[in-house]
Chains A and B, each alone.
Chain A
Amino acid sequence: MGPVTQANSFYRNLYGWFDSWLPDSLDWLAYLLAALVVVFAVANLVLVITILFTWVERRLLGRFQARLGPNRWGPWGVLQPIADAIKLLSKEDIRPEGVDRWVFNIAPVLLFVPAVLVFAVIPLGKNTYVANLNIGILFIIAVSAVSTLAIFMAGWASGNRYSLFGAARGVAQLISYEVPMVLSVVGVILLAGSLSLVDLVEAQDIPFLLLQPLGFIIFFLASSAEMNRTPFDLVEAESEIVAGYLTEYSGMKFGLFQLAEFAAPFGASAIMATLFLKGWEGPVLPSHLWFFLKVCLLWFLFLWLRATLPRLRVDQIMGFAWKLLFPLGVLNIFVTAAEVLAWPDPSTAQLWTMAGINWGVAIGSLVVASRLAGNKLTSRPPLAPMHGKGGRPLGERG
């Protein structure tokens, strides 16, 4: 199977173990069993951590908003997620009339799968990954792109206008923010010269956060928008369109959407820890713990952003992606490419020079861009004239 199963990976060892006690003719069964065990382990690890973090997130949001948060069930309310899960599972599964049944049922699954699937290529510690694909980061981008489709399927199949509005907003937003996100990753790839996440971690002599501050900021904001979290949660803005594409969902289907939504920041934090914070590497402590600590730090940043900022308007969100993040992403690629051309094999001193230049560029360009675009983004657009074609007021048509 080539690069998919490389030496030292958990999957490889497990396959070898199964293969040793199965006869040669059952080769495929060893593949299948090893795959099932690994998928089960990784998916459940992700889910358990996600569920724990929903509790942390709700408690912290409570602190941010000067209230208590869930605190009844178990010590400090730790068991709250379990109570929620039981509630969701035992709820009636309502399917409104006029929904497209197949599409309606598949959509939550299709949104949930990519959220877990990205963990297939992320190294969770030294030598701990399911697969070290040599196109790892592209795999993550491609898999996340599928969730756009799932949101649209949910909105369309519901047969409800609010759902469709939410889905249309979601698709526009996800497509727009994918562009700056991919652009911000290009800088990292240029520096490391590889697409594999394991190589990306090993290529970081100093963390890429120091070399790619602009890329880090763009990736952070763009992935925050990709997850539809609060400053960017127009997709399910409850004050405008009920709950967007989730309006018609109930029971565990709703639960799957929520799980995918809470697993997304975990995925994004893990990707950012790998790309910008040296992944699992760190002194003294074991590699898995280092990785987990970095993920927690980034997760807290996402939460902080969510708790602090109010929701943006549709035109502000689109303008932010295309007029601010997109040009900054292109600038970042040009600067990084020039540096990589100038120092193809940088020494430590050159790396620190590079970091200095990039921080200067990042701060300078952010100040200039916010001066140029800031006013346009925050001011209200002029109200559309109440006239139809030909200058007649709309009411007097016909």
Chain B
Amino acid sequence: MLSLDMAFWTMAVVTVVSAAAVVLLKDVFRAALCLVLTFMVVAGLFVLLSAEFLAVVQVLIYAGAISILIIFAIMLTRDVHQGNPSNRFRYPALVLAALLLAAIVLVVIKTDWNQLDSRVLPGAPTEAVGATETGVKNVFSNTTPVIARLLLRDFVLPFEVASVLLLAAILGALALVREGEG
């Protein structure tokens, strides 16, 4: 599968370079655009993993919505043309980023990626079992129903709590903005 390898390495390099550019560029607007590029390429990596739904949602939410939010924030920032001044949070940020990276690497290493249980694959035994080839093919030929089942049946409570939280955040933002009017 040489073609997949080539696609993966191209995207991996672009991801790392553009992610580095987000941190290193002085121009805040360009840094935000590099962040969008990173989101896009990560979506491409999801496609390589046969997770099309995740890829499209990544583009829709991150490249389409979150980035617009960031750009609006930049537009409303004063003195944005002076660039991105360095401040004393450099080392605390480094520590935090290193901790986050360690956590992610730990999760990647500790997880047994060869498992599918009944939540992912209907009809499989309740306890986790080793993934069979047909099982994996069943799940990854169309991931949308699997994700839907997980989100709206097995994890419906956290899902709904998250949406209530977002609603509360929207109402809070509205309340903050309207305060000045009265």
Q: Which residues of A contact B (CB under 8 A)?
A: 2-4, 25, 27-28, 31-32, 100, 102-103, 133-135, 138-139, 141-143, 145-146, 148-149, 152-153, 156, 168, 171, 175, 195, 389
A149 engages B6 (CB within 8 Å): no
Where chain A touches its partner, the secondary structure class is: helix
A146 engages B64 (CB within 8 Å): yes
What is the bound-complex CA distance between A3 and B53, given in angstroms? 12
A134 engages B142 (CB within 8 Å): yes
Q: Which residue of A lies closest to B180 (CB)?
A: A389
What is the bound-complex CA distance between A266 and B64, given in angstroms? 22
Instruction: State whether A146 and B2 are in contact (beta carbons under 8 Å apart), knowing that A135-B52, A152-B71, A175-B68 are contacts in the complex.
Output: no
A149 engages B53 (CB within 8 Å): no
Q: Which residue of A lies closest to B36 (CB)?
A: A149
A-B pair count, CB < 8 Å, reads: 76
B30 engages A103 (CB within 8 Å): yes
B64 engages A145 (CB within 8 Å): yes
Residues of B within 8 A of A148 (CB): 64, 68
A168 engages B64 (CB within 8 Å): no
B141 engages A3 (CB within 8 Å): yes
B68 engages A139 (CB within 8 Å): no
Residues of A within 8 A of B56 (CB): 135, 138-139, 142
Q: Which residue of B lies closest to A174 (CB)?
A: B68
The answer, yes or no, to whether B128 is at the interface (CB within 8 Å) is no
The smallest C-beta distance from A19 to any residue of chain B, in angstroms, reads 11
The smallest C-beta distance from A31 to any residue of chain B, in angstroms, reads 5
Among B1, B50, B56: residue with most chain A CB under 10 A? B56
A-B contact pairs, 17 of them (CB 8 A): A3-B52, A4-B47, A4-B52, A100-B27, A134-B142, A134-B144, A138-B53, A142-B56, A142-B57, A145-B60, A146-B63, A149-B36, A152-B71, A156-B75, A175-B65, A175-B68, A195-B144
- What 1/0 flags go to B63-91 for Cβ under 8 Å of A? 11101100110010000000000000000
A171 engages B59 (CB within 8 Å): no
Q: Which residue of B lies closest to A102 (CB)?
A: B30
B3 engages A152 (CB within 8 Å): no
